[in-house]
Every structure is written in C-alpha cells, then in structure tokens.
Amino acid sequence: MGSYEPQGGAGVAPVSRCLIFVVEDDEDIARLISHNLQAAGFDVQSFVSGGSVVSEALREMPSLFLLDIMLPGPDGFALCRQIRQTSGLSAIPIIFLTAKSGEADRVKGLELGGDDYIIKPFSPREMVARVRSVLRGVRQPPIVPEVLRLGDLEIDASSMTVHVQGRPVLTTVREFRLLEYLAAHSGRVLTRDQLLDAVWKETPFVTPRSIDVYVRRLREKIEADPRHPKYLKTLRGIGYRFETPK
C-alpha cells in the first residue's frame, strides 16, 4: 500500500470546499501543488504513489484527481484506468500533470479518460485555473432538461447517467457532456471546433482532432457495432451528427 500525507488540515472540510487528490512522488512539487490549491480554497490530500488512492477515494470521495504519470509502482496511466473501472469513481474528473510531453502520451491520456493534461514545468496559476475549469464542466447546467430517450439510448441529464437497452454505461464527465450536446442537437451537423467550444471551452489540452478520440470512445460504449454506428455519424471533412434511429 502506498503512503500518503493529508495536506488539507485536520477536521471535516466545509461542504463548499472541494477535495483534490494529488498523486505526485516528488515532495517539492507536491508541496507546490498543495500550497497553491489550498490558497485557492481547495482541500488537498497528497499521495506519493498510486497504491492506496482508490481505496482512500472510496472512503472519502474527492472532487478531482491530479495525477503524475511517472510514479513508483503502477504509473499514472494505470491508476487512471483503475479509477475509470471503479464503480463510484469512474465519473470523477482526472487531470494529468507530468513531464511526459509527447503527443502519443497526451492521446493516451485522453483515451484512458483524462479530462486535461498539464505539462511540467507548469505555472501554478494556470494549474489552479485549469482545475477550476474542469470542475466547472462538472457543475455546468445540463443541456438536456430531462431524460432524453433516443432509440435504445437514454440520457439522464439530472443524474448524468447513460443507459443502453436499460443497461447502465459508465462515462466520464467530458464523454457525457459531448454525448449530451450531440443528442440535444440531433440531426444537426456539428464541426469539431463547435464541439470543442461547447464542451471544453478553456481546456487547451483538447484539440479539434482530439474530438475523434472521444467520439470513438463513446461509440465503443453506446453502439452495438462501433464500426457501423447508428447514433454518432461522421461527416468526413466536416464533423459529426447525432442521428436518432427510426
């Protein structure tokens, strides 16, 4: 089990404060992150490895995970995968904060369910701003005002849940917002830039082409045959359209 050191102070945090789980094995960087997040009004719990993160998260639910990738033992990608596969944690936002700056690593972070990707060395002010941006995405008013039923698909905006043929489908916050937006504009062709502006806004980690990764992941979750989708249609060279099966 990995050790951790609570950084948010003793006692019970006020309801209005968000708890951030920071997984970073460099003590100086962990202190810098914690100091700036606490100064911005967040509570922080720091971990030096990923070993106990999931069990602690199930005991005290965080609002967001901030993960380094290069960690002792299972790396940040493996931890992200574990979080996304854990009932009760799968929808919590994840931000990677890492020195791994290659495009392949950023795409992998997206594909595993990351909501943002901050490269070291980083600006503490920018880090705090991007944490707030991701959390705003969780709290933003729903686009769909009630349960939306389209073919075998059911989208419940109030609980942020998706069901296919009555079976619950786990989605990340960003996946849900993208599906919700497409479904709310059923029949309309939306460009990648339009989807980016609607769902991601201030997140520079996600590029227009990153939308393709999210659509592919959604197809794997909601389509009977992702290679021949009936809901999420591609308009080559333009973007995507949500189509309600007849």
- Model pTM greater than 0.85? no
Interhelix angle 210-222/103-112, rounded to 10 degrees, is 30
pLDDT, residue 145, reads: 55
Domain CATH code at residue 130: 3.40.50.2300
Do residues 10 and 126 share a domain? yes
User: 27 is written with which tokens?
Assistant: 């003590």
Round to whole Å and give the CA distance between 133 and 173.
Answer: 12
pLDDT at 10: 36
Helix or strand holding residue 164 (H, E): strand 161-164
110 CB burial (10 A radius; 0-12, 13-18, 19+)? buried
From 139, 170, 203, the end of a domain falls on: 139
Say yes or no: 135 and 162 in one domain: no
- Same structural domain, 54 and 86: yes
88-125 pLDDT, tens digit per residue, is 888 899 999 988 888 888 888 888 888 888 999 999 99
- The residue from 139, 172, 194 where one domain ends is 139
Helix axes 76-84, 103-112, angle to 10 degrees: 20
CA–CA distance, 83 with 8 (Å, rounded to integer): 22
pLDDT in tens, the chain (246 residues): 333 333 333 333 333 479 999 999 999 999 999 999 999 999 999 999 999 999 999 999 999 999 999 999 889 999 999 998 898 888 899 999 988 888 888 888 888 888 888 999 999 999 999 899 888 876 665 555 578 889 899 998 877 889 999 999 988 888 888 999 999 899 999 998 888 888 876 666 667 778 898 999 999 999 999 999 999 999 988 899 999 877
CA 66 to CA 47: how far, in whole Å?
Answer: 10
Do 9 and 126 belong to one domain?
Answer: yes
Q: How many domains does the chain have?
A: 2
Whether 230 and 169 map to the same domain: the answer is yes
Asked which of 84, 119, 139 is the last residue of a domain, the reply is 139
Q: Are residues 207 and 94 in the same domain?
A: no
Residues 121 and 188 occupy one common structural domain = no
